[in-house]
Amino acid sequence: MALPKEPRQKMINMMYLVLTAMLALNVSSEILNAFKVVDKSLQNSSSNITIANNTLYKSLKDKLDDPKSAATAQIWEPKAEKAQALSNQMNDYIEHLKKDLKVAAELKVDKTTGNPLLDKNGNEDFMEGNLEASTRLFDTQGKGKDLETKLLAYRQAMLAIDTEIAVKFAKTLPIDIDPPIGQDGKKKEFTAAYFHMTPTVAALTILSKFQNNVKNAENQVVSYIHSKIGEVKLKIDKFDALVGQSSNYLMPGDELTITAGIGAYSSAAIPIISINGSSVQTVEGQGIYKTTATGSGPHKISVVIHYKDQQNVEQVSTKDIEYTVGTPGGAAVMPDKMMVFYIGVDNPVTIGSPTGWDKTTVTINGGGGSFTSGSGSNRIVRVTEVGDATINVTANGKTSPFKFRVKTIPDPIIKVGPSAGGKMQSVVFKSQPFVRADLEHFDFQANFSVTGATMYFTGPQFRNTVSVTLTSGSMAPAKQYLDQCGPGSAVIFDNIKVVGPDGKTRTIQNPPGFSLF
């Protein structure tokens, strides 16, 4: 075909070629965000495994000092140090590749300090969708071949630590450099399969995947070494009070603080504490619960503590905290829960009046509020709009206004089985039929249901990242991939939709990810 002679036609053809090239290079933000979600989960998984590894290393050091295990520990502990050194070296090498890749993708840096500049979200600023940076670094500059060689050498070195380790992990050590089969049914070589024309953020995710493989390999080898000496011992090394309260007599609006723990506890076996039906975070063997005094008269709060004694036997301790709330003089409105009304639930209030109820009127304004039931001092308030609401109590011709905030119910916690994310046994995760939304640390009875989500699967059992769309809390649509999950797999939830008692759909921010072992 002859080239056009007219300059205008030549320009049109040139613009068409440029546009075609731009379209070819364009990668949707949805795909980039999906890779970032997977990358973050892999990094979190690697951090959790590092914590577990550090516990093993500390236990091995302790066994060197124990006369009962010193002889065996002197044989095996140096082998664990070798595994740690090999893994740190491999991890550092991959981390350096990540930095080189970002530079190749036009990482913005401070010209004075040389430090990376951050974007408006606090992340390093580089071209996440660049398709050429990974090709230049790993193909043209040969870093892909170097990575493949070093991963293979790392695997061989880990197996060479001991003949028993070589036999135990010859087929299961999670260092897989075998590239996936392409859409044409053929297997490409390592660099072409993983890094040729791959978006920068995807290449970074692949590097995080290899780092996670290294951490898993280190954990498996060191766990086996530790098993050759003995299990981790729990040492009772902390002591503190059992239960305490800041006061047993309060006025409405005063704050009550309850401190609960166990008299002696192991820093490796933290107690599980529940106060007033809600789980309480444990710090240094203690859980602290704060609530605002409401209503009037005597009140009781239950404290339940689950812990293991020195014989590693489960124990449960239950204690009731009792206190009294006084009634102020004159007209008063005291919420029975807290100084907030929530949309979608019944908000009980206690109203005080210095005169008989035949001479008292009560009204509510703002927040779409209304009294739905009750009379006299006990009423139920319902609200529909975020903002402020005012309850007006008129007694003896004098009106007393009481202002309250109107808020939406907080987001629930997304859980699979007993876990809200992080490390979880693969057999436990795979046996769960649902993902659910639990409202924790909230004084009202309110239920949420999951109406949709996207699940991402990655790990050594999957050649590529797989996504499944859910239309409810049931994980049945993902059964095929759940059955494939095993140690080293990562499952990430995204775009989780829930419906609460107000009937409105909301999207959960920071959905969970699970690292299976």
> What pLDDT is stored for residue 232 in this prediction?
44
- From the list 220, 283, 201, 294, the residue with the least C-alpha distance to 252 is 294
Buried b (16+ CB within 10 A) or exposed e, 296-313: beebebebebebbeeeee
What would the CATH number be for the domain defined by 236-325? 2.60.40.10
* Span of 50-59, 179-188, 231-240, 248-257 with lowest mean pLDDT: 231-240
List Cβ neighbours of 116 (8 Å cut-off, separation of 6 or more). Answer: 102, 107, 108, 109, 110, 124, 125
Cα–Cα distance measured from residue 436 to residue 418, given in angstroms and rounded to the nearest whole number: 10
- When computed from its CA atoms, the radius of gyration of the chain, rounded to whole angstroms, is 30
CATH superfamily of 332-407: Immunoglobulins (2.60.40.10)
- DSSP notation for 195-248: HTT--HHHHHHHHHHHHHHHHHHHHHHHHHHHHTT-PPPP-EEEE--SEEES-S
Q: Are 314 and 330 in contact (CB under 8 A)?
A: no
Q: How far is CA 441 from CA 281, 383, 413, 494, in A?
A: 10, 21, 10, 23
Dist CA 177 CA 158 (whole Å): 15
Give the CA distances from residue 103 to residues 97, 99, 133, in Å, rounded to whole numbers and listed in that order: 10, 6, 9
Q: How far apart are CA 338 and CA 290, in angstroms?
A: 12
**Phi, psi (rounded to 5 degrees) for 287:** -115, 135
- What Å distances lie between residue 293 and 199, 250, 253, 310, CA to CA? 56, 7, 5, 38
Q: Which of 324, 322, 299 is nearest to 249 (CA)?
A: 324
Between 259 and 18, name the one with better pLDDT: 259
At 19, the pLDDT band (50, 70, 90 cuts) reads very low
Residue 261 has pLDDT above 70, yes or no: no
- Given a cut of 50, whether residue 329 has pLDDT beyond it is no
φ, ψ of residue 447 in degrees (nearest 5): -115, 140
Quickly state the pLDDT bin for 5 (edges 50, 70, 90).
low
Q: Give the pLDDT band (50/70/90) at residue 20.
A: very low
Q: Which tens digit of pLDDT belongs to each residue from 291-327? A: 776 665 577 888 887 777 655 667 777 878 776 654 4
Residue 270: pLDDT band by 50, 70, 90 thresholds?
low
Q: Buried b / exposed e across 314-342, counting CB within 10 Å, b at 16+? A: eeebeeebebebeeeeebbbbbbbbeebb
User: Judging by DSSP bridges, how do beta strands 422-424 and 513-516 pair with one another?
Assistant: parallel
pLDDT digits (tens, 9 = 90+) for 437-479: 998 878 788 889 999 999 999 998 898 889 999 999 999 999 9
Q: Which of 61-70, 109-118, 351-360, 452-461 has the lowest mean pLDDT?
A: 351-360
pLDDT of residue 234: 45
The domain limits of the chain are 25-227, 236-325, 332-407, 413-516
Residue 374: count other Cβ atoms within 10 Å of its Cβ: 15
Pick the residue with more confidence: 295 or 91? Answer: 91
| Residue 85 or 63, more confident | 85
What's the predicted TM-score (pTM) here?
0.45
Q: Is residue 363 over pLDDT 80?
A: yes
- pLDDT at res. 327: 47
Per-residue confidence at 282, pLDDT binned at 50, 70, 90?
confident
Bridge partners (DSSP) of residue 459 are none
Tokens 């739905």 locate to 372
- Give the separation between CA 249 and CA 296, rounded to whole angstroms: 11
As a dihedral over the C-alpha atoms of residue 10, residue 12, residue 18, residue 21, rounded to 10 degrees, the angle is -100
pLDDT band at residue 253 under the 50/70/90 scheme: low
Would 236-325 and 332-407 be classified into the same CATH topology? yes
Quote the CA–CA distance of 500 and 478 in Å, as a whole number: 24
Q: How far apart are CA 218 and CA 498, in angstroms?
A: 39
pLDDT tens digits along 159-185:
999 988 988 888 888 887 777 666 666
pLDDT of residue 23: 38
- pLDDT value, residue 25: 45
Q: Residue 153 — very low, low, confident or very high, per pLDDT cuts 50/70/90? A: very high
Q: What is the mean pLDDT of the chain?
A: 80
Residue with tokens 């996440």: 128
| pLDDT: which is higher, 328 or 413 | 413
Q: Is the predicted pLDDT of residue 371 greater than 70, yes or no?
A: yes
Strand blocks (E) in 397-448: 398-407, 413-415, 422-424, 436-438
Q: Which residues contact 118 (CB under 8 A, 6 or more apart)?
A: 124, 125
Higher local confidence (pLDDT), 30 or 452: 452
Cα(282)–Cα(429) distance, integer angstroms: 25
pLDDT value at position 259?
Answer: 67
Q: Cα(473)–Cα(434) distance, rounded to whole angstroms?
A: 5
Residue 400 has pLDDT above 70, yes or no: yes
> CA-to-CA distance for 178 and 269, rounded, in angstroms?
40
Which one has a higher pLDDT value, 261 or 434? Answer: 434
| CA dihedral angle for residue 501, residue 505, residue 506, residue 507, rounded to 10 degrees | 130
Would you say residue 17 has pLDDT above 60? no
